[in-house]
Chains A and B, each alone.
Chain A
Amino acid sequence: AQKITQTQPGMFVQEKEAVTLDCTYDTSDPSYGLFWYKQPSSGEMIFLIYQGSYDQQNATEGRYSLNFQKARKSANLVISASQLGDSAMYFCAMREGSARQLTFGSGTQLTVLP
Chain B
Amino acid sequence: EAGVTQFPSHSVIEKGQTVTLRCDPISGHDNLYWYRRVMGKEIKFLLHFVKESKQDESGMPNNRFLAERTGGTYSTLKVQPAELEDSGVYFCASSHRTTNTEAFFGQGTRLTVV
Contacts and interface: CB of A to CB of B under 8 A. Distances in A.
A joins B in a complex? yes
Given A33-B100, A45-B91, A106-B42, A100 B105 contact: no
A104 B44 CA distance: 7
B89 A101 contact: no
Contacts of B48: 100-101
Contacts of B42: 4, 104-107
B contact patch SS: strand
A103 B42 CA distance: 9
A31 to B, nearest CB: 10
Chain B, interface size: which category? Answer: 20 to 34
Contacts of B100: 33, 52
Most buried by B among A100, A102, A107: A100
Given A100-B48, A100-B55, A100-B56, A35 B102 contact: yes
A42 B100 CA distance: 27
Interface in B69-114: 89, 91, 93, 95, 100-108, 110
Contact of A101 (B3, B59, B102): B59
Contacts of A42: 107
Contacts of B55: 100
A106 B31 CA distance: 24
B103 A91 contact: no
B108 A47 contact: no
A100 B30 CA distance: 12
Contact of B107 (A35, A37, A44, A52): A44
Given A43-B107, A47-B103, A101 B43 contact: no
Interface string A9-50: 000000000000000000000000101010000111111001
Given A42-B107, A45-B91, 15 more contacts: A43-B89, A43-B107, A45-B105, A46-B105, A50-B102, A91-B43, A100-B33, A100-B55, A101-B48, A101-B59, A102-B43, A104-B42, A104-B43, A104-B44, A106-B41
10 nearest interchain CB pairs?
A45-B105, A44-B107, A104-B43, A101-B45, A47-B102, A50-B101, A43-B107, A43-B108, A104-B42, A106-B42
